[in-house]
Each structure stands twice: as structure tokens, then as C-alpha cells.
């Protein structure tokens, strides 16, 4: 199973900044405001189909 590299310190800081700015905008202007707002660490899949969505 393919794993994704962890984010760098700089990228993590950017994410935190994005998350904070997201919280400041409760009305949310655009779908683009949601790009990458969360860091899920590593994605433990390479292809997310319905079988993998529903598997435990």
C-alpha cells in the first residue's frame, strides 16, 4: 500500500495558518477555501474507491 510523505514543518505551519483563517471566515466564500485545510498525516491508501471507503 502506497504511503504519502509526511508534511514538512513549513507545510504544517502553512496548514495551521490556513485552518486559522478558515475559522475566521464562518460564512466561507468559496469551495476553494476548503483546499487542504486538514492534515491527515499519511494517507494509507493509493486508490480510494467504494470498496476501500466501506472496508473497516
Partner 1 sequence: MSKIFLDSNLLVAIFMQSDPNHLRVSIWLKEQTSGSEFYLSPQVIAETYATITSPTKFKNPLTPEQAKTGLLQFLKAKEVNLVPIGKKALESALEASAETGKRARQFFDLLIWGTMKEHKIKILATFNARDFQLLPGIKLIAPG
**What residues make contact with partner 1 under the rule CB under 8 A?**
2, 4, 7, 11, 15, 22, 26-56
- Are the C-beta atoms of residues 39 and 12 closer than 8 Å to each other? yes
Taking the complex as a whole, the smallest distance from the CB of residue 4 to partner 1 amounts, in Å, to 5
Per-residue buried b or exposed e for 21-38, using 16+ beta carbons within 10 Å of the residue's own CB: eeeeeeeeeeeeeeeeee
What are the grid coordinates assigned to 2, written together? 502506497
Taking the complex as a whole, the smallest distance from the CB of residue 20 to partner 1 amounts, in Å, to 13
Taking the complex as a whole, the smallest distance from the CB of residue 10 to partner 1 amounts, in Å, to 13
Q: Which is nearer to partner 1, 9 or 56 (CB)?
A: 56
Amino acid at each position: 500500500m502506497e504511503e504519502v510523505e509526511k508534511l514538512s514543518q513549513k507545510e504544517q505551519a502553512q496548514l495551521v495558518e490556513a485552518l486559522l483563517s478558515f475559522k475566521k471566515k464562518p460564512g466561507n466564500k468559496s469551495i476553494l477555501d476548503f483546499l487542504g485545510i486538514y492534515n491527515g498525516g499519511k494517507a494509507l491508501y493509493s486508490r480510494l474507491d467504494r470498496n476501500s471507503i466501506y472496508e473497516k
